[in-house]
Amino acid sequence: MTFSFLASRTWLLSVVTFYLNIHPVIGQTPFKTRSDLVPAPWNVTFTNMSAGSLSDSSFIFMAPRVQSPTGLMIFDNNGELVWLNNDSSVQGAFDFRPQNWKGQTYLTYWSGTASTAGFGKGFVYMLDSTYQITHNFTATNMSDFHEFHINADGTAVTSVYSLLTTVDTTGKNFGQANSFVWDGCLQELNIDTGEPASFDFCSLEKGISLFDSFTDPNAPPVDENSGWDYVHVNSAEKDATGNYLMSARHTHTVYYIDGSTGEILWRLGGMNSNFTGDGNEFGWQHDARWIGEKSMSSDDLQSANSGGKRRLTIYDNASSGFDNTGTESRGILVELDFSAMSATIITTYHSPGGETTLLSASQGNVQWFADHSELNSDNVLMSYGSVPVFAEYTNSGDAIRVVHYGTSDSAQGYRIFRDTWTGTPTTAPDAVIQDGVLYVSWNGATEVTQWTVQQGDSQNNLGNDTTVQKSGFETAINIDSTKGATQVMAIGKNGKTLAKSNVLGADGSNMGGAVNGTATLGSDGSGSGSGSNNGGGDDDNGAIASLASSVSIFCGVVAVLSLLVGTTI
């Protein structure tokens, strides 16, 4: 991935103007219970349910960045917030998604420092269903943000950028005998220990030539800051044979790499493809993924590699911001025929909903639902990366729904995913009373179906149960404002009480008594609370406590963005 703002300021202004004219910003009403949580608004600009149905028993996972609001976000199918962590530690997080490890689903993401050169150094994190961090680790030279993929064998692969200082780049623009070059590498990790596993690959060492690159140094590569990122690794995954599929943006190439020796077995696309056919026709791409192989064994794949066929998806950016290889970014489904050594585009996922020229200069992904049995769908989701749009398609390429997100076209999302998730926070529900209305929410709780309100003259005399259906992130409930004490209980799908809010006085004052989600409650909701929640559950990873902090972060992002126009980052 290359964040590039080398296009002119005039071009940027025209894009902003187009976006605001065609896709007006939808206002977001602050939550009464959690005014610190501000999700990225959705604007659904196209639906075509006659083409197919959405996978509605799942959630959308995204981490909007660059333009506030930012953070780790989960939404339901209607764009209603489910969970948001906007703590300062996750501002600028990348690659937020669910992944399976040892039979359990975790939320994973990268957080660290992203350089102006277009890569990063940081840590990868894994969260359990309670949103607590269970693992955080990094590669030997620190993990880059482009990839943290958990392989089917339980290992993980992460991208790494390694600085070389004596590379001869003579023959390239600004080339010289002793150049600083950033080498794109992969490192396999043991998740249990966080330590490197057996596989380690670096592009220049393993034979990817400097002259395979479609880029040149922007200036004499004389130090770390001016070092040339010649290959730009941005995705990788291990298959059942133990070999790796790797995408390198700056060579316009997808590589298949021997997982034991690091030998490049074949190339697709770029200057030195081993295949013929239109499946080579992509550029500045991201997110190359095998599809349809979840049930295939190593022997099955070895047989396919020896004269059979395999399929992969690629997000074809067709743009770097300063060079275009097409007029739109698209997803492509490519079939590789190892007998004929041909690559054929089977399906193309075009700019959806009549937007024929969506062109994202960086980031983006394609998700093939048929490889996720829990989704009960064969649809395809595509995120447009540096353009704040994602769309769901039928697997034959018809758009079903298009969503623009964020408050301006400056918002970005590295990858966006749809998946199932069970969130069971260890906090208590948040509740407030305003003008005779009780508002209740529980950040991250996916299993709540109803809210039961209990009221009485005092905290020790609660009854008169009223049960309502949960509605969106925050539910508004009319209550008897003459009662001296009010408490609300979260009710699960099986009718069990999951947690309790603090008891609120008639004036909305906090009287304590909350019961967190980890508590064991009786079938009638009985259970003692600590009364120490100070108004309800806090965001599990320490959400920003005040709007002032959010505004400060927003202003900082805008300031940085203004400096980066005209600069590659």
**Residues 269, 306: Cα–Cα separation, whole Å:** 20
**Residues 39, 79: Cα–Cα separation, whole Å:** 10
pLDDT of 3: 31
Q: What is the pLDDT of residues 29-47, one digit of tens each?
A: 899 999 999 999 999 999 9
Q: How confident is the model at residue 163 (pLDDT cuts 50, 70, 90)?
A: very high
State percent of the chain over pLDDT 70: 86
* CB-based contact 157:188 (threshold 8 Å): yes
Enumerate the domain spans of the chain: 430-512
Q: At the topology level of CATH, where does 430-512 sit?
A: Immunoglobulin-like (2.60.40)
pLDDT higher than 90, residue 289: yes
pLDDT of 115: 87
Mean pLDDT, residues 10-39 taken together? 58
Mean pLDDT, residues 136-159 taken together? 96
Q: What is the pLDDT of residues 45-101, one digit of tens each?
A: 999 998 888 877 799 999 999 988 999 999 999 999 999 999 999 988 999 999 999
| Residue entry with tokens 């770097």 | 320
pLDDT higher than 60, residue 356: yes
* CB-based contact 482:505 (threshold 8 Å): no
Q: How confident is the model at residue 520 (pLDDT cuts 50, 70, 90)?
A: low
**Residues 84, 95: Cα–Cα separation, whole Å:** 15
Q: What is the pLDDT of residues 290-330, one digit of tens each?
A: 999 999 999 999 999 999 999 999 999 999 999 999 999 99
pLDDT of 518: 76
In this structure, what are the phi and psi dihedrals at residue 194, rounded to the nearest 5 degrees?
75, 5
What is the pLDDT of the chain when averaged over all its residues? 88
pLDDT of 559: 33
| Residue entry with tokens 């057996």 | 198
Mean pLDDT, residues 246-265 taken together? 98
* CB-based contact 316:331 (threshold 8 Å): yes
DSSP bridge partners of 403: 44, 390
**Residues 500, 517: Cα–Cα separation, whole Å:** 8
Mean pLDDT, residues 253-282 taken together? 98
Mean pLDDT, residues 234-242 taken together? 98
Alpha-carbon distance values, 12 to 162, 322, 388, 404, 533 (Å): 32, 12, 14, 18, 47
**Residues 75, 83: Cα–Cα separation, whole Å:** 7
Mean pLDDT, residues 395-412 taken together? 94
Amino acid identity for residue 480 in this structure: D
pLDDT of 524: 58
Q: How confident is the model at residue 495 (pLDDT cuts 50, 70, 90)?
A: very high
pLDDT of 522: 57
- The distance from CA 303 to its chain's CA centroid, rounded to whole angstroms, is 34
Q: How confident is the model at residue 6 (pLDDT cuts 50, 70, 90)?
A: very low
Both tokens assigned to 187: 């490192």
